[in-house]
Structure 1
Amino acid sequence: MNADTIEGLIHHELPAAADGDHGAYSRIVAGCQNAITGLALAIVRDVHASEDIAQEAFLRAWQNLRRLQNPASFLPWLRQITRNLARDHLRDLRHGPRAVDDAEAMIAAAADPQPPPVEQLIEDERQRVATELISALPDDSREVLLLYYREGQSSQQVAALLGLSDATVRKRLSRARATVRAELLARFATFACDSAPSAAFTALVATALGVASPVASAAVVVSALGAGAVGSGVGKLGVGGVGTGVTAGVAGGAAGGGLGFLVDAVVHYDWVILAGIGGTLGAYLGSRYLLRFAGNDTERTAIRGFIHGITATSAVFCFGMLLLVVLTHGWVPISAFAIAGMAVINYQYLVPLPRIMAPCFAREAQRTGRRQPPLTYQLTCGAPAVWISSVAALAALLYALFTSGRL
């Protein structure tokens, strides 16, 4: 996507996004994610941290979008948010963890004396190489080079995304080529492309949008959750299955994931089989976000167990709802089953999951100095996300029952 296309996308989608359209904002995220993660990576020199920072930047921008008067200011504003968050991250690292965090991390380490698995050693080596490659570049050329290789080696594209002149970009590229060995520059080019965010990045941001801003109405929730994870959606399937299925994996189980499926099932059950498959698959794929926090085999096994459990529960909920829609009349059976399903999956997120993730976040606290889990995790898997999405789901249930004539 070239710079003109991105600017056009922002101008076209931003008014709708400011009015709460998750799908519109998700498309903006998809267009800007290379630039924003690249900015964060150039500063923090850590791929995982840069994606966390970029996700947080997109969410903060979303929360304050109504304050933006001019669409042309969006990208410069978002860049500044990203740079501030990245510098805060480095400041936290320099100050080190607080005593409480350090003690918790020591307890977690003592409780799990197993050596790091081979996969963790490989990941640590990749991170070391990434840090060395970025550190070898001139300070003012890191952002330019990352985007240059990620954006098809177009200096004009980089200039537009960074708010610089083409001459400035070319000058910084020339300086980098003059001071960095050709072999190292080639390795950096490969690294820049390989570390670029995938479509899963957009999906993770999209899942958090519903709980990162006030809920306007049940109708808005239904359309936004469905469209948020997969762009505009694909008719009823987009609203009812795949879109909210991703939300199911990381935003409160049935409270979020069954929401679109539920409304679609009550009103249009001709598509619910595909919706159920999409919702269950989305729950599984979305939950795998949690695996990035695992640091050893014990944690990885526990998280996988949670993923399998939440996926199975989502499948039972989706297809149980299908049977009730087809075989029953009225609102009582559907309402009772929906509330029971929400209770079961919310329990999984509120009780077992925090216990499973505690050692992971204790280790992250020791490494980064942050006392709280990443914002993306809090807005998709934390208690606030569960309760807010539960309220939204109940409101959408009432809306669906009413519009279908069952209530």
Structure 2
Amino acid sequence: MSTEVLETLIHSQLPAAARGDRDAYGRIVAGCQSTVTSIALAIVRDVHASEDIAQEAFLSAWQNLRKLNNAASFLPWLRQITRNLARDHLRSQYRRAPPGGDVESLIASVADPHPGPAEQLGDARDHAIAAAVIDSLPEESREVLLLYYREGQSSRQVAGLLGLQDAAVRKRLSRARERVREELLQRLGEFAKSTAPGAGFSAAVLAMLMVGAPPAAAATAFGAGALGAVNGATKLGIGALGGAFAGIVGGLWGVWFGVRKLLRQPFDERERRGVMAYALFTSALTVSFSIGITLLARVPGWIPHLAASVGFAAGMVFACGWWFPRILARRRAHELAMDPVGAARRQRHERLLGRIGAAAGLVLASCGVALGLWMSGRMG
């Protein structure tokens, strides 16, 4: 997408997005995702982390979109949000190891024109090599070079996306070529193109607009599981099984999507085990409830169905409201120690999102239970 087309897209879609139109914002995300992920990757030198950061940047921009008065300021504003989040990420990785381990041996293995079987590179090795090459670049050249390869090697396009002059982009590219051997730049170019975000990235961002934070994700799972299962409970046979399946799929997606970043980048092994236990518990709760309430479709009366729903709600409130915050307590304390003002602001925001998500999940689930019981004739 050319810079002119992207600017037109932002100007046309931003007013609707500011009014809460997620589809309009999704089109903006699709247009800007390459720029945002490249900026994050240039700072953190890790593809998975860069995508997580880019998603957080788009979520943060969405939540503050009404504060933006000028559509022309959107892209510079989004770039700065991304850089701030990426630097926060680096500060939080206080035990961060060098990205590729033995950088010289990694570079040598790429430069070797006849690598042996043991040196054949998989995805993890390619990522490590790319991180090593990025580290060797001048800091000012990293964003430019990654975006240059992802945008069809057009310096003019990169200049427009980063708010630079074309001459400045060309100068930074020249400096990068002076610092890094050509074969390594070619490998970095292939890596940049192969890891560019696709349609799935913007779909994940749109999902995050509904989820927000891990506790809210679990609450959303609660709503999805309850509504899907109780809907299925109003029918018999295949219809009920289909409703249970929809509830299970929706619930499990919400749980695991919400904790994926914490499992990829745990604070320590203790936190990783705790998050995994939390995810397994809420998954089991969602599956049990979806199947159980479907099996109750043939049971007369409404008390068993209400009891099952209340039990499920109590389990989710315990997991999201009490257990999960304690799993993250050491991470939160460390973040506050590293950045008292910024971390406190982010944590307040996360708590607010969690409460909103939990309330929305409880309301949706309660409505689903009541509707299902009424439609089945149990509360006539």
**Displacement of 1:147 after TM fit?**
0.9
Contact 1:57 1:85 in 2 (8 A): yes
Task: Report the counterpart of residue 320 of structure 1 in structure 2.
Answer: 292
Pairs within 5 Å for 1:179-194: 179-193=179-193
Q: Identify which of structures 1 and 2 has the higher relative contact order when contacts are C-alpha pairs closer than 8 Å and 6+ apart.
A: 1
Pairs within 5 Å for 1:259-338: 259-263=223-227, 272-283=243-254, 285-286=256-257, 287-294=259-266, 299-323=271-295, 326-327=297-298, 336-338=307-309
Residues 222-247 of structure 1: per-residue CA shift (max 9 Å, x gap) = xxxxxxxxxxxxxxxxxxxxxxxxx8
CA, structure 1 residues 65+346, in 2 after alignment: closer, same or farther (shift >3 Å)?
same
CA, structure 1 residues 350+156, in 2 after alignment: closer, same or farther (shift >3 Å)?
same
**Displacement of 1:295 after TM fit?**
6.2
Pairs within 5 Å for 1:4-403: 6-7=6-7, 9-43=9-43, 45=45, 50-51=50-51, 53-86=53-86, 125=101, 132-166=132-166, 168-193=168-193, 196=196, 202=202, 205-210=205-210, 251-253=216-218, 255-263=219-227, 272-283=243-254, 285-286=256-257, 287-294=259-266, 299-323=271-295, 326-327=297-298, 336-358=307-329, 383-397=351-365, 400=368
TM-score, normalising length from structure 2?
0.68
Cα distance in 2 for residues equivalent to 1:202 and 1:321: 34
Letter in 1 for 2:216: A
Residues 300-350 of structure 1: per-residue CA shift (max 9 Å, x gap) = 4443333222221121233334445x4478976655533431220231233
CA, structure 1 residues 375+338, in 2 after alignment: closer, same or farther (shift >3 Å)?
farther
Residues 48-87 of structure 1: per-residue CA shift (max 9 Å, x gap) = 6645543443233112212334444322221233334456
Cα distance in 1 for residues equivalent to 2:76 and 2:154: 19
Contact 2:57 2:78 in 1 (8 A): yes
Contact 1:258 1:317 in 2 (8 A): no
Give the unaligned 5+ runs of structure 2.
102-124
Aligned residue pair count: 343
CA, structure 1 residues 62+10, in 2 after alignment: closer, same or farther (shift >3 Å)?
same
**Displacement of 1:142 after TM fit?**
1.7
TM-score, normalising length from structure 1?
0.64
**Displacement of 1:390 after TM fit?**
2.2
**Displacement of 1:34 after TM fit?**
2.4
Cα distance in 2 for residues equivalent to 1:121 and 1:35: 26
Residues 94-121 of structure 1: per-residue CA shift (max 9 Å, x gap) = xx98xxxxxxx9xxxxxxxxxxxxxx98
Larger radius of gyration: 2
Cα distance in 2 for residues equivalent to 1:346 and 1:193: 43
Cα distance in 1 for residues equivalent to 2:270 and 2:21: 40
Cα distance in 2 for residues equivalent to 1:203 and 1:49: 17
Task: Report the counterpart of residue 232 of structure 1 in structure 2.
Answer: none
**Displacement of 1:182 after TM fit?**
0.9
3-state DSSP of counterpart to 2:20: coil
Cα distance in 2 for residues equivalent to 1:376 and 1:198: 28
Letter in 2 for 1:390: A
Cα distance in 1 for residues equivalent to 2:228 and 2:21: 19
3-state DSSP of counterpart to 1:251: helix
Contact 1:177 1:185 in 2 (8 A): yes
**Percent identical across equivalent pairs?**
46
